């Protein structure tokens, strides 16, 4: 790091006044998983799947889309738990 200081007699550059530092930032982002869900045909289907998955511990976000047959889940949650929640809602996760 270099610091420049303006003095009445001109500019004086002071190097190494502050030792160089290395800063590392670790940001944990929730994992996003995509599942293929069979049988969703309407908005109520999407709602049933989403609400069932959102009840799971660790889920921060869930979105079901009947048009694509996709379920997007964000958070720290086990795949088997998501599959079971989808089954409990009356649908199946494709292999």
Q: Nearest to residue 79, comparing CAs of 60, 45, 50, 53?
A: 53
Report if pTM > 0.85: no
| Domains of the chain with CATH codes | 27-93 (3.30.70.100)
Strand pairing of 59-65 and 2-7?
unpaired
pLDDT single digits (tens) 40-55? 999 999 999 999 999 9
Query: Residue 24 pLDDT > 60, yes or no?
Result: no
Query: Residue 81 pLDDT > 80, yes or no?
Result: yes
């Amino acid at each position: 790091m270099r610091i420049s200081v303006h003095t009445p007699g001109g500019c004086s550059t002071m190097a190494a006044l502050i030792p160089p530092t290395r800063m590392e930032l670790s940001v944990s982002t929730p994992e996003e998983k995509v599942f293929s869900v069979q049988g969703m045909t309407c908005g109520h289907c999407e709602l049933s799947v989403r609400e069932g998955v959102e009840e799971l511990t660790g889920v921060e976000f869930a979105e079901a889309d009947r048009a694509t047959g996709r379920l997007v889940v964000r958070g720290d949650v086990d795949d088997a738990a998501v599959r079971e929640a989808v089954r409990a809602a009356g649908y199946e996760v494709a292999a």
